[in-house]
Structure 1
Amino acid sequence: MTNEALAEVLGLDGEERYDFFLSQVAEEREVWILVNADNRFLKIASEDDGVEYLPVWPASDYAVNYANGTDGLVPLSLSLPDFFRKWVPGLTKDGLEVGVFPGLDKTLWITEPEEFKRDLQDAMSAF
């Protein structure tokens, strides 16, 4: 992916990135997260309201770009069946939200795991 294409998508507002995310993931059938050397996933606590969330990206390039300058975070692909079967119940049990596709402006769409799953399933039904 070119830097220009990357910057264009990252420059979209939170809602536009959410829609882009849904269409990309519906087509590719995978979600990307960041993990450290111990295979622990990146979890972020919002400073504004204290909500904890798992940031997700539609492709490796976006996750790599987000991790640029951090120490030891690498992208990890999660297949949608695994995400739906393991991650959604786990996130719900742990009280974590899903932070969809952080952008250059640091905004993102934060949603409950079950709602996120429904949105993805709706997007997949269009394919």
Structure 2
Amino acid sequence: MSDNALQQILELDGEGRYDHFLDAVVDERDIWILVNADNQFLKIVAEEDGVAYLPVWPTQAFAEQYAAGADGLTPKAISMPDFFRKWVSGLTRDGIEVGVFPGADEELWITSPEELKHDLQELMSSAW
């Protein structure tokens, strides 16, 4: 994907990036997160309301672009089956939401792990 195409997608609003994320993940079957050198995932706590969330991206390129300038963060793929089987229950248990596809603006689609799983499964079943 060209830098121009990446930028156009990043400039979508939160809902547009969410829709793009769902389509891309269903196609590629991977969800991308950022991890540090100790393989601990990036978790962000929103200043205004204290909501903790795991930021996720549809491709390695978007995760890399977000991590640019942040020392020690590298993209890591989570397969959709692993996300469904392990991550959804773990995030739910720990009270961590999912921040889907942070972009250039301040708007971010934050959803529960279960809701994201439901939306992905619904899109997969309609694709068949």
What TM-score bracket applies, with the shorter chain setting the length? over 0.9
Q: Which residue of 2 aligns with 1:116?
A: 116
Matched residue pairs, number?
A: 127
Q: Which residue of 1 aligns with 2:47?
A: 47
Which aligned pairs between 1:1-127 and structure 2 lie closer than 5 A? 1-127=1-127
4+ runs of 1 displaced by more than 3 Å?
none
Separation of aligned partners in 1, 2:110 and 2:88? 14
Separation of aligned partners in 2, 1:48 and 1:23? 30
What's the CA shift string for 1:78-107, capped at 9, x where partnerless?
Answer: 000000000000000000000000010032
SS state of the match for residue 126, structure 1? helix
Separation of aligned partners in 2, 1:106 and 1:30? 25
The gaps in structure 1 that reach 5 residues or longer are none
Shift of 1:2: 1.2
Quote the RMSD (CA, aligned, Å). Answer: 0.6
Which amino acid counterpart does residue 23 of structure 1 have in structure 2? D
The gaps in structure 2 that reach 5 residues or longer are none
What's the CA shift string for 1:23-46, capped at 9, x where partnerless?
Answer: 110111110000000000000000
Provide TM-score, normalisation by structure 1. 0.98
Provide TM-score, normalisation by structure 2. 0.97
Identity %: 64
SS state of the match for residue 117, structure 2? helix
Which amino acid counterpart does residue 110 of structure 2 have in structure 1? I
What's the CA shift string for 1:35-63, capped at 9, x where partnerless?
Answer: 00000000000011100000000000000
SS state of the match for residue 40, structure 1? coil
Which amino acid counterpart does residue 119 of structure 2 have in structure 1? D
